[in-house]
Amino acid sequence: MYTIDNKEYPCCTSVTMKFIGGKWKAVILFHLTDGAKRYNELRKLIPTITERTLSLQLKQLEEDHIVNRKVYTEKPPLMVEYTLTDFGKTLLPVIEAITNWGIAAPDLSVKKIIRN
């Protein structure tokens, strides 16, 4: 049994999914693997995510210390940049495995997944 923020998780897999579960977190993390991204860059890279969802997911990832949010205020316009924290970088092998499975899946599936 594991406990995070006074909530119990029954196994190690549920702990991992607490941090990267859901439809968008792993996608956001994938796009941050090659370096810092601004909010609008992420919006362009993930066109099917809504602004509200992206904002909420980034906030959750920041609260979980997976993503670092840096605000640049030296000169207008205000710029916000997101990067993986050291803790977030420990998820890179997981994200890489998910990515590799997604790349191979169309060739392995029974006509269910079509690569466009």
Domains and CATH numbers, the chain: 24-99 (1.10.10.10)
> Per the structure block, which two tokens stand in for 77?
């316009």
Predicted local distance difference test score (pLDDT) of residue 18: 87
Predicted local distance difference test score (pLDDT) of residue 73: 84
| 88 CB burial (10 A radius; 0-12, 13-18, 19+) | buried
Q: Helix 25-32 crosses helix 12-20 at what angle (to 10 degrees)?
A: 70
pTM: 0.88
> Per the structure block, which two tokens stand in for 76?
């207008």
Q: What is the pLDDT along the chain (116 residues), one digit of tens a residue?
A: 889 888 888 998 888 888 888 899 999 999 999 999 999 999 999 999 999 999 999 999 999 999 999 998 887 778 899 999 999 999 999 999 999 999 888 888 767 777 77
Name, in order, each residue with C-beta under 8 angstroms of 30's C-beta and a sequence gap of 6 or more. 95, 98, 99
